[in-house]
Amino acid sequence: MPDIKVNDQQLEAQLARLEQARPWSPRVMSKLETFIRAAPDVDLFRVNPIQYALERSMTEAEAVDLFLHATKIGLFEMDWHIVCPHCGFVVDSLHTLSQLRTHYLCPICGAERDYALDDYIQVAFSISPQVRDIPYHHPESLSVEDLYLNYRLSKDVISPLPAFPAWRDAIIHVTRYLGYVQPGEIVRTAIALPPGVLRTTDGRNCLQLAATQEQQEQTSRIAIRLVDGTFQSDDPQMQPGSLTAKHAEQQLVQFRYDLQRELPSGRVVIDVENRQDRRSALCIYQPGDMPVPVLTLRPNLSGKKLLATQTFGDLFRSEIIKMDETLSIKDITFVFTDLKGSTEMYEQIGDAKAYFLVHQHFDTLRRVIRERHGAIVKTIGDAVMAVFDNPIEATTAALEMIDALTTFNHTISQELILKVGLHRGHAIAVTVNERIDYFGQNVNIAARVQALADANEVYITADVYTSPGVSDALKAYQVAPDEVLVKGVSEKLLVYKIGQHHHS
Ligand SMILES: [Zn+2]
């Protein structure tokens, strides 16, 4: 067992602070301490909080809260990363949301695509180097195997190949060369090339050789050099280029290579010369004629799920999206609320009292939204805009908000009456006024659907109602379908009005 370097003083002080951050379930703190002290180095690098929860029988929400609070006090570091769906390697890894972009080129396989916050963008947590120093804090010190297979390859890839239950074993299986190439060194690899592709990467650039059906007796020779961070070659056939391939699910994927060429099948000898003043981590691998896979990931904390977590908004207010960048979200649920008759209330009881009540109503809604694992985006006058990852929880939250406000009304002389609307779909996330906000047609629809609601009513669109589990969650309620025209949408919109509980 290698040395475990834990800074006891730091760890104990920070655990004591973390314990005070909020009430935790029994043994949550002791399990975390055991994890930090005893887990293998690699396990403390990019901890997936959803898997952490599963392995310790915690709720996902508590585990996410745990790592967010732990990050806030410096026990862990947040790591935003983008996983390539076609090779499983981490395309980019960032400490803050503000560094995130939507468009990436994978340096390992050359796949070039747009990413969405709920599409291969995930958030993980690595132990702080001040608490426990692990080799993954110093990637330059790693063996080339650890660098590729533990540091650069995502832990969360689910292998689609029955012969290789672990994706890293599939990677090892197709790897023909893996090693550091020192400055000035030339590495020679001889490979039998059946029809199909062979790729060479230094972790920053990728080049591809595509072997045709034509067989050749003579050995092909390929000479490449690494200069100024790119691959170069004197071979006139080796040219930068992009190509489109069909992946395993018959969709088109774009690939771009620093250099590529076709050559006949047969034996090939590849020389790679490192003309840089730093060593290079070279990997040559042979996917052959295997179709481009579309890899799925184990359940994880997607960027979207994190943005829809109230604790993230509370603790990391300064975490914003880069100006001029719009991050896509494929599917998120919006909840809009408003108070009925608030103008009259301000007139009746005066601004100060009304303002006080409106704030208490915000607190009530915030509590429900937090309990149902959503996040408030903003308040607009007396209205609230919130986002949820899960449409069932969004629907349940909407109903509970009305109940909670009814209960709150018993404690005050006025009656606060809520009107709620829900819709789900794609949207973009941007930063406006130093705060994360959401835009798009689906946001507009959610707001318009809210405007249909009358006293203590919730309106949901068909997109929400037909989400798995939502109609079950509404069994005890009167649900009335309706077709409406809303501003900005050309076709009639199918909506459902959720009224009172059934009294039977
Ligand atoms: Zn890739």
Q: Give the pLDDT of residue 341.
A: 86
Q: How far apart are the C-alpha atoms of 408 and 426, rounded to whole Å? A: 34
Average pLDDT, the chain: 94
Rounded to the nearest angstrom, the distance between the alpha carbon of 255 and the centre of ligand 1 is 9
Domain boundary among 138, 158, 178: 158
In a domain, 308, yes or no: no
Q: pTM for the complete prediction?
A: 0.93
Rounded to the nearest angstrom, the distance between the alpha carbon of 286 and the centre of ligand 1 is 13
Contact predicate 49/62, CB 8 Å: no
Mark whether 485 and 352 lie in a shared domain: yes
Mark whether 190 and 331 lie in a shared domain: no
Query: Does 390 score more than 70 pLDDT?
Result: yes
Residue 101 neighbours by CB distance under 10 Å: 14
Rounded to the nearest angstrom, the distance between the alpha carbon of 409 and the centre of ligand 1 is 56
CA angle 292, 297, 298 (to 5 degrees): 150
Domain that residue 97 falls in? 5-158
Contacts of 145-154 with C-beta under 8 Å, sequence gap 24+, read 145/178, 146/42, 147/203, 147/281, 148/178, 148/203, 148/281, 148/283, 150/42, 150/45, 151/45, 152/89, 152/90, 152/108, 152/203, 153/88, 153/89, 153/90, 154/81, 154/83, 154/88, 154/89, 154/90, 154/297
Query: Does 376 score more than 50 pLDDT?
Result: yes
Q: Give the pLDDT of residue 1.
A: 52
Rounded to the nearest angstrom, the distance between the alpha carbon of 379 and the centre of ligand 1 is 41
Mark whether 174 and 139 lie in a shared domain: no
Rounded to the nearest angstrom, the distance between the alpha carbon of 210 and the centre of ligand 1 is 17
Rounded to the nearest angstrom, the distance between the alpha carbon of 293 and the centre of ligand 1 is 10
Residue 330: name the closest of 198, 226, 442, 185 by CA: 442
Rounded to the nearest angstrom, the distance between the alpha carbon of 239 and the centre of ligand 1 is 20
**Helix H or strand E segment including 79:** strand 76-83
Percent of the chain with pLDDT over 90: 89
Q: Give the pLDDT of residue 427.
A: 97
In a domain, 312, yes or no: no
Structure confidence by residue, pLDDT tens digits, 206-237: 999 999 999 999 999 999 999 999 999 999 99
Mark whether 149 and 185 lie in a shared domain: no
Rounded to the nearest angstrom, the distance between the alpha carbon of 193 and the centre of ligand 1 is 21
Query: Does 108 score more than 50 pLDDT?
Result: yes
Structure confidence by residue, pLDDT tens digits, 4-22: 889 999 999 999 999 999 9
Query: Does 130 score more than 80 pLDDT?
Result: yes
Rounded to the nearest angstrom, the distance between the alpha carbon of 113 and the centre of ligand 1 is 10
Rounded to the nearest angstrom, the distance between the alpha carbon of 87 and the centre of ligand 1 is 4
In a domain, 99, yes or no: yes
Contact predicate 279/182, CB 8 Å: yes
β-bridge pairing 230-232 and 280-288: unpaired
Rounded to the nearest angstrom, the distance between the alpha carbon of 407 and the centre of ligand 1 is 53
Domain boundary among 109, 130, 158: 158
Rounded to the nearest angstrom, the distance between the alpha carbon of 420 and the centre of ligand 1 is 43
Mark whether 151 and 217 lie in a shared domain: no
Rounded to the nearest angstrom, the distance between the alpha carbon of 109 and the centre of ligand 1 is 4
Q: How far apart are the C-alpha atoms of 477 and 452, rounded to whole Å? A: 18
CATH number at residue 473: 3.30.70.1230
Structure confidence by residue, pLDDT tens digits, 267-284: 999 999 999 999 999 999
Rounded to the nearest angstrom, the distance between the alpha carbon of 118 and the centre of ligand 1 is 18
Q: Region 187-214: what's the mean pLDDT?
A: 96
Query: Does 500 score more than 90 pLDDT?
Result: no
pLDDT band at 502 (very low <50, low <70, confident <90, very high): low
Q: How far apart are the C-alpha atoms of 118 and 304, rounded to whole Å? A: 5
Residue 481 neighbours by CB distance under 10 Å: 10
Query: Does 249 score more than 70 pLDDT?
Result: yes
Rounded to the nearest angstrom, the distance between the alpha carbon of 106 and the centre of ligand 1 is 5
Structure confidence by residue, pLDDT tens digits, 466-486: 999 999 999 999 999 999 998
Rounded to the nearest angstrom, the distance between the alpha carbon of 149 and the centre of ligand 1 is 14
Q: Give the pLDDT of residue 291.
A: 86
The CA dihedral of 402, 405, 409, 410, to the nearest 10 degrees, is 90
In a domain, 313, yes or no: no
Q: Give the pLDDT of residue 269.
A: 97
Mark whether 104 and 178 lie in a shared domain: no
φ/ψ bin of 384: left (φ > 0), alpha (ψ from -120 to 50), beta (otherwise): beta
Residue 334 neighbours by CB distance under 10 Å: 29
Mark whether 154 and 182 lie in a shared domain: no
Rounded to the nearest angstrom, the distance between the alpha carbon of 436 and the centre of ligand 1 is 29
Residue 265: name the closest of 242, 239, 249, 286 by CA: 286
Per the document, the length of the chain is 504
Mark whether 76 and 224 lie in a shared domain: no
Q: Give the pLDDT of residue 504.
A: 41
Rounded to the nearest angstrom, the distance between the alpha carbon of 262 and the centre of ligand 1 is 20
Contact predicate 474/395, CB 8 Å: yes
β-bridge pairing 121-127 and 132-133: unpaired
Rounded to the nearest angstrom, the distance between the alpha carbon of 206 and the centre of ligand 1 is 10
In a domain, 257, yes or no: yes
Rounded to the nearest angstrom, the distance between the alpha carbon of 43 and the centre of ligand 1 is 23
In a domain, 315, yes or no: no
Query: Does 3 score more than 80 pLDDT?
Result: no
Mark whether 172 and 140 lie in a shared domain: no
Mark whether 124 and 87 lie in a shared domain: yes
Rounded to the nearest angstrom, the distance between the alpha carbon of 265 and the centre of ligand 1 is 24
Indicate the burial class of 224 (C-beta count within 10 angstroms; 0-12, 13-18, 19 or more).
Answer: buried
Rounded to the nearest angstrom, the distance between the alpha carbon of 66 and the centre of ligand 1 is 31
Rounded to the nearest angstrom, the distance between the alpha carbon of 89 and the centre of ligand 1 is 6
Rounded to the nearest angstrom, the distance between the alpha carbon of 279 and the centre of ligand 1 is 22
Q: How far apart are the C-alpha atoms of 479 and 474, rounded to whole Å? A: 8
Structure confidence by residue, pLDDT tens digits, 425-437: 999 999 998 899 9
Mark whether 476 and 327 lie in a shared domain: yes
Rounded to the nearest angstrom, the distance between the alpha carbon of 147 and the centre of ligand 1 is 16
Mark whether 265 and 345 lie in a shared domain: no
Residues 6+ apart with CB under 8 A from 7: 130, 131, 132
Rounded to the nearest angstrom, the distance between the alpha carbon of 91 and the centre of ligand 1 is 7
In a domain, 310, yes or no: no
Structure confidence by residue, pLDDT tens digits, 327-349: 999 999 999 999 998 888 889 99
Residue 256 neighbours by CB distance under 10 Å: 16
Rounded to the nearest angstrom, the distance between the alpha carbon of 266 and the centre of ligand 1 is 26
Residue 390: name the closest of 445, 470, 474 by CA: 470
Rounded to the nearest angstrom, the distance between the alpha carbon of 376 and the centre of ligand 1 is 35
**Helix H or strand E segment including 198:** strand 196-201
Q: Which three-class secondary structure state does DSSP give residue 409?
A: helix
Rounded to the nearest angstrom, the distance between the alpha carbon of 107 and the centre of ligand 1 is 7
Domain boundary among 130, 158, 186: 158
Q: Give the pLDDT of residue 2.
A: 61
In a domain, 405, yes or no: yes
Q: How many domains does the chain have?
A: 3
Rounded to the nearest angstrom, the distance between the alpha carbon of 112 and the centre of ligand 1 is 8
Task: Report which of residues 469 and 500 the model is more confident about.
Answer: 469
Residue 310 neighbours by CB distance under 10 Å: 21
